[in-house]
Chain A
Amino acid sequence: MAIVTAETLRDSYDVIVVGSGAAGGQTAYTLTMEGAKVLMLEAGRNYDPVRETPMFQENFRAPLRGTGTPDKPFGFHDATVGGGWKIAGEPYTSASAESGRQFTWYRARMLGGRTNHWARNALRNGPYDFKPYSRDGLGFDWPISYEDVAPYYDKVEMLIGVYGSNEGLENTPDSPDGVLLPAPKARVGELLAKQRVARLGVPVIPLHRAVLSQRQDFQRIPARLHPNNPRAQRILADSMQGRAACFWATPCGRGCAIRANYQSTTVHLPPALATGNLDILTDALVREVTLGSDGRADGVAYVDRHSGTERRVRARVVVLAASACESVRILLNSRSPSFPNGLANSSGLVGRYIMDTVGSSVGGQIPLLEAMPPHNEEGAGDHVYSPWWLYREQKAGKLNFPRGYHIEFASGKYMPNQYTAWALERYTGGSYGRRFKEDARRYYGSFIQFTGRGEMIPNENSFCDLDPAVKDKWGIPVLRFHWQWSEHELRQAAHMQQTFAAMIQSMGGSVIGAVHEDGRRAIAPGGYIIHEVGGARMGGDPKRSVTNSWGQTWDVKNLFVTDGALFCSNADKNPTLTIMALAWRCSDYLLEELRKGNL
């Protein structure tokens, strides 16, 4: 079994998994390791990071020095292929023309989806993050608690490899001993920030990122992840031995040919394929989940992008893991007499309460970082961050917004690109000639940027539905986004700006550009942070949720959702690790139900 074509598909599978990213990869991994026969459908093309990743390509050998364009928004060498903010022939629409009410949707139509280029920041939600409504009366509680998910965070961290440290900070969970890999040393700019911002009360600790700071323990971990399953242990040990440790040289966003960081295509899919239980069909865009006469899902209808023809494939169970909004789109497009408003939508909540992350940045120039002696600062992205720290002040009513944000740092002498000596005249008084060359040496690497990633509270005005008129090039109705930040997010974004400016000043630096007091100017547009979640939230009540706490839809018991659509809230923690933990947990339940004959 392997990559198949429409002609070599089996007639039927145990489970169809729609999507191949963090959720689809984890779901397929868990199911196939336990023996289920799985077909994975991916809308984009096959993609092999080992062969295709431009690991060492220099910017001067790329068009426009590798600078981002509408075709490759994150730079020429970024791992995303066949995707971006816009995909030809596959539009989405906005319900409003007003500024501040737009949602931008980043899609990666490729095997592994957005896991190929993601930031690799792998933070656990804390105990508060699963019960936000109980704490402040806003948004919704999850039907599960941190304790329910913690064992799955442990498993995912061991499987994919996450570096970091345990600091015992509030709502910032530690991992059990032996789960995390050692955190890399901090860069000089990160150390300077840590020393200086301490006086502001801002903690700086090692970031958790899905990068192998050393090779995985292939002798111990497989038995912990797959007890009583020697075959799965052997397959995983083989896969782990095929992964190298980070060699501290190249940017993770290009992907990793040595498999040192997590992407579905290098970590989840190779062992899943090695079980012999996984078929992957690429260029297969799922239009709808099909229903049998018994009201159960019996498979999916998809468009074969090569021929443009629609085909069907059957399975006992269907899992949607196509990314929050694409899974919503499939549900809404699965209309039938028994489900006129879309499948599994008796609650009317499919597409409702989508959330992104509150994002805002301030950059600065730091004289103490000028003219540093040359040394390597490449490798594994950010090494430190600041978790949210103002719990006590917030509880005492000293902040004008609920919930929190963490701070990501960007500092270091990375491979020079378009911006390395861009707009230096701010500091040089317009130098050119030999002076300019001296200035460029002096200022290279002397910049730092602080970026906030904060919690958005779900609201009635942020959702997606089907556009009544617009269809994609295959004739499939497209999503229409409705978006509105509330005062909570806008005030939080303004707070970020003040904090980051103070941090830069504490380092003896000067802020670049304006520091916004108006949250509307401070906040990144909806969707811009690419953390969209919600739209098919889990819950304990079929009238107030789309699935139960295992991602099983209330309306169709052999239909599951295992991606970010399940989220009831969107903590400041980057969602990918939680997506994977939930996908593993849902898949365990699915397997158990299959064994019991309930599906």
Chain B
Amino acid sequence: MNTTKPGGISRRDAVKWMLTAAATVPWLQPSALAADPSRAGTSPAEPQPAAPPIEPLPSRDGYGTDPDLTKTYGPGDFWPLTFTPEQRRTAAALCALIIPADEHSPSAAEVGVPDFIDEWISAPYPEHGYNRVTILTGLRWIDAEARRRFSRPFADLSESQGRAICDDICWVPKATEQNLEAAGFFAMFRNLTAAGFYTTPEGMKDLGYVGNTPQASFDGPPEAALRKAGLIA
């Protein structure tokens, strides 16, 4: 059997693809980043102690096989969150750079996406452990990069400063070899930001989603859609 296929992808295959996609981006080695003195410090004039290692999550249960499906939930309801206030600020700044406010919808930072990313990397399921290391290491790297290049935390950069860093890491095939790991982090962070944002009411509206409302009939595509697809002249 199979189930609904949002976005044209069955859940079953989507998970498979997600894992494949994750495997194609370079593994972000926390040790490699921490070992590079040019990246580990903040500003050159202010040497920092070596960053502590990213601890794996303690083993704990998830929401189980029989949670109450009729209730609504938010991040933190089932397992504790991870972000420190600093990590949260960095994550929010990056969310806002990836999905800023425009005339259609607010920014990802304004609709709780950093909390979703925190929930995601704090989840006690196997795939999330991999994402956790990548995200936490990447947030540390991007903050260190901001301090190295602009002598201030990433969250305090101007938009153009932030974009200067992101431009270097926004696409794995374009990244320099020394930025490959950071580009892998950025790809994952962008995916999670989009996942968090486009599932919110504001994000769904932005995409023009109009379902989930009872209809008297299924009318099929309107003429404008048929024309767009070249099915009618």
Contacts and interface: CB of A to CB of B under 8 A. Distances in A.
A72 B225 contact: no
A58 B202 CA distance: 12
A433 interface: yes
A123 B220 CA distance: 23
Interface string B115-136: 0100110010110000000000
B177 interface: no
B138 to A, nearest CB: 14
Given A440-B194, A530-B1, A58 B212 contact: yes
Interface stretch (A200-208, A222-230, A263-271, A407-415): A407-415
B85 interface: no
A75 B1 CA distance: 14
A432 interface: yes
Interface string A521-535: 000000011110000
Interface string B206-219: 11111111111111
Given A69-B125, A191-B226, A249 B212 contact: yes
A45 B67 CA distance: 13
Contact of A441 (B4, B12, B171, B207): B207
A138 interface: no
A34 interface: no
Interface stretch (A275-283, A325-333, A367-375, A552-560): A367-375
A484 B209 CA distance: 44
Interface residues of B, number: 87
B229 A369 contact: yes
A156 to B, nearest CB: 17
Contact of B218 (A59, A184, A416, A530): A184
B217 to A, nearest CB: 7
A447 B66 contact: no
B76 to A, nearest CB: 10
A391 interface: no
Contact of A247 (B214, B219, B226): B214
B206 A447 contact: no
Interface stretch (B27-35, B41-49, B97-105, B149-157): B97-105
Given A378-B212, A436-B98, A65 B196 contact: yes
Candidate in A84, A195, A377 with the most chain B CB atoms within 10 angstroms: A377
A373 B102 contact: no
A72 B67 CA distance: 9
B7 A445 contact: yes
Nearest to B79: A63
A6 interface: no
Interface in A447-474: 447-449, 451
A313 interface: no
B8 A437 contact: no
B224 A373 contact: yes
A416 B229 contact: no
Nearest to A192: B229
Given A59-B199, A247-B214, A251-B3, A361 B191 contact: no
A374 B225 CA distance: 8
A553 to B, nearest CB: 28
A84 B125 CA distance: 15
A63 B123 CA distance: 9
Contacts of A185: 218-221
Interface stretch (A113-121, A142-150, A489-497): A113-121
A169 interface: no
Interface string A364-400: 0000110111111111110000000000000000000
Contact of B3 (A45, A51, A117, A249): A117
Contact of A410 (B9, B100, B217, B220): B9
A376 B208 contact: no
Contact of A437 (B62, B64, B102, B163): B102
Interface in A141-196: 184-189, 191-192, 195
B164 interface: no
Contacts of A67: 195
B125 A82 contact: no
Contacts of B170: 425, 430-432
A119 B3 contact: yes
Given A75-B11, A76-B69, A81-B66, A449 B5 contact: yes
Interface in B6-25: 6-15, 17-18, 20-21
A158 B89 CA distance: 59
Interface in A66-111: 66-72, 74-78, 81-84, 87-88
Contacts of A502: none
Contacts of B81: none
Nearest to B72: A61
A63 B77 contact: yes
B211 A451 contact: no
Contacts of A445: 7-8
Contact of A373 (B9, B13, B228): B228
B166 interface: yes
B190 interface: yes
Contacts of A71: 62-65, 67, 125
B2 interface: yes
B206 A437 contact: yes
Given A74-B11, A371-B228, A420-B7, A60 B206 contact: no
A574 interface: yes
Given A188-B231, A420-B194, A433 B163 contact: yes
B58 to A, nearest CB: 17
Given A70-B126, A195-B231, A422 B194 contact: yes
A103 to B, nearest CB: 16
Contacts of A436: 98-99, 190, 194
Contact of A425 (B120, B190, B200): B190
Given A185-B219, A252-B3, 19 more contacts: A54-B70, A60-B196, A62-B73, A74-B3, A81-B69, A185-B220, A248-B214, A361-B10, A363-B13, A368-B229, A369-B229, A372-B221, A372-B229, A376-B210, A380-B218, A413-B211, A418-B199, A433-B99, A451-B2
- The 4 closest A-B CB pairs, nearest first, are A430-B171, A447-B8, A185-B220, A410-B5
Interface of A: 45, 51-54, 56-72, 74-78, 81-84, 87-88, 114, 117-119, 121, 184-189, 191-192, 195, 213, 246-254, 361, 363, 368-369, 371-381, 408, 410-425, 429-434, 436-437, 440-441, 444-449, 451, 512-513, 528-531, 574
5 contacts: A71-B125, A414-B4, A429-B174, A441-B206, A528-B12
